[in-house]
Amino acid sequence: MNKEDFYQNFREKMRKWLATDEGKTNKFGEYLMFAPDLFHLLCKLSLDDAVPVKEKAKLAGAIAYFVSPIDLLPEALTGPLGYVDDIAVAAFVLNGLVNNTDKSIVEKHWAGDGDVLQVIQSIIKGADDMLGSGLWAKLRKKFQ
């Protein structure tokens, strides 16, 4: 399976879940739909020569966290809700990248809906609610 197929399959899987009764009533559904887009963005940016090496290391950490079966909210146990922590980590790392480089680098690789900068800020603002302040603080510390 190529990278684009993985991305499209991930998006379709999330769309299907969001169409279920559980997905429709989940208060974090709007954030969860960004999971495939954020993962795709992390991967694209990690390959971009315009991204500084220090930032690429953070991107690699966020990608590893996304795909790891062992994280704070494992998808194998929690289903799509397990992506909430992955989304928060991705937004945190991407926000740092936007603050330390030209934001157009991030914008050019965004394949999702809406303004990527607004998506990142929205997720960061909602992270306390999604994860709880204690868990969110631990994740931020890990990825600074």
Q: By the 8 A CB rule, do 99 and 80 touch?
A: no
Q: What angle do CA 135, 117, 138 make, to 5 degrees?
A: 15
What is the model's pLDDT at position 8? 85
| Residue range of the domain that includes 66 | 3-142
Res. 103 pLDDT band, cuts 50 70 90:
very high
Q: By the 8 A CB rule, do 59 and 92 touch?
A: no
Number of domains in the chain: 1
Q: By the 8 A CB rule, do 42 and 67 touch?
A: no
CA dihedral angle for residue 132, residue 133, residue 138, residue 141, rounded to 10 degrees: 140
Greatest C-alpha distance within the chain: 43
31 Cβ partners below 8 Å, 6+ apart? Answer: 84, 87, 122, 123, 126, 130
What is the model's pLDDT at position 10? 87
What is the model's pLDDT at position 34? 95
3-state secondary structure of 16: helix
What is the model's pLDDT at position 70? 75
pLDDT greater than 90 at residue 27 = no
Give the tens place of pLDDT for each residue, 32-77.
Answer: 999 999 999 999 999 999 999 999 999 999 999 988 877 777 676 7
Q: By the 8 A CB rule, do 84 and 31 touch?
A: yes
Instruction: Give the span between the Cα atoms of 26 and 20, in whole angstroms.
Output: 10
Mean pLDDT over the full length of the chain: 89
